[in-house]
Amino acid sequence: MSHEREATYSSVAGIPLHYSRNRHYGERGDNLNFSSTQRLKDILDQCFETLIEESPFGKPDLIVTAGLYVNKPGFHGRGLAVDVDAIYWADRTLVSVLYPFDQVHYLAVESVFRQYFGTVLNYLYDPPHEDHWHMDLGTRADFYTDSPSRVLYLQASLTHIHDHPVLIDGVWGRQTSGAIREVLQELALGTDIENMSTWQAYLRRTASKGFEMVAQAPVLPPKEQLKKAIDSLFEADVRKEQYKELAQSLLNLSHHPNLGGSLEP
């Protein structure tokens, strides 16, 4: 067996790996075997162990991946990359394409991913990555200011988790450097975000703050979610964003534990 496919597995950190791209994106799909280097498998185990420890929803039921080793050039072909479409918990679902309606949870989870992966391409990076996180081991899990994907994450986390809104454009400038300086001070962390231990501490604090916010946010009862979703269908001007909101509402609704084939509250 070649090095890039030396490990074959159907779960990471005890969480089943599913694939649904042969049917419908974002669905639970089927539990399949995937291959990669042992190095990537070990890092995925550690990364999702950390997610299980940090998430207020505990251990996910399953991870929907769009693939690990793929016979093509680049890090997938070297068994060093993974694509994540969605994560399902018992009563919570995180689907990558629904980022605009689930920013805090999305960024909290990404704050865990970035503790282990240097290269993380997300919804904000470019249109092909709106529907999955691409993560690979091609770079160290550090921060540097001329990395657009890292700066995009930092700007989004400053804006949505640390309440220091900045322009989210992937370009390091005075506004971003001023905001991170203030937040590092507030968190009593180091002063230099390019310092590896300061960056890792920022990621840990951002994950826990984000998860705290998600855990405290009110969840509408299923009947109200459905009403909101149906109301939005009748809006005169239904834009792409509203369709996404509708999809999120219906997803939440369809996985609500109290919805056992009846719409009664």
Binding stretches for Zn ion (CB under 5 A):
83, 134
Neighbours of 247 (CB within 10 A): 16
Tokens of 93: 């679902």
Between CA 19 and CA 31 the distance in angstroms is: 7
Cβ contacts of 164 within 8 Å, gap of 6 or more: 158, 179, 182, 183
Helix, strand, coil fractions of the chain, as percent rounded to 5: 45, 15, 40
Strands (E) in 72-215, as ranges, are 81-89, 92-95, 119-121, 133-136
Smallest distance from the beta carbon of 134 to Zn ion, in angstroms?
A: 3
Smallest distance from the beta carbon of 187 to Zn ion, in angstroms?
A: 32
| Residue 166 near residue 175, CB atoms below 8 Å | yes
Between CA 136 and CA 40 the distance in angstroms is: 8
Q: Which is nearer to Zn ion, 131 or 245 (CB)?
A: 131
Smallest distance from the beta carbon of 16 to Zn ion, in angstroms?
A: 20
Q: Which is nearer to Zn ion, 39 or 59 (CB)?
A: 39
Q: Which is nearer to Zn ion, 105 or 134 (CB)?
A: 134
Between CA 93 and CA 86 the distance in angstroms is: 7
In the complex, which residue's CB is closest to Zn ion? Answer: 134
> Cα–chain-centroid distance for residue 9?
21
Smallest distance from the beta carbon of 83 to Zn ion, in angstroms?
A: 4
Q: Which is nearer to Zn ion, 89 or 125 (CB)?
A: 125
Q: Which is nearer to Zn ion, 97 or 179 (CB)?
A: 97
Between CA 91 and CA 223 the distance in angstroms is: 15
Q: Which is nearer to Zn ion, 78 or 255 (CB)?
A: 78
Smallest distance from the beta carbon of 81 to Zn ion, in angstroms?
A: 5
How many residues are recorded in the chain?
265
Q: What's the number of CA atoms in the CB half-sphere (13 Å) around residue 26?
A: 16
Smallest distance from the beta carbon of 68 to Zn ion, in angstroms?
A: 9
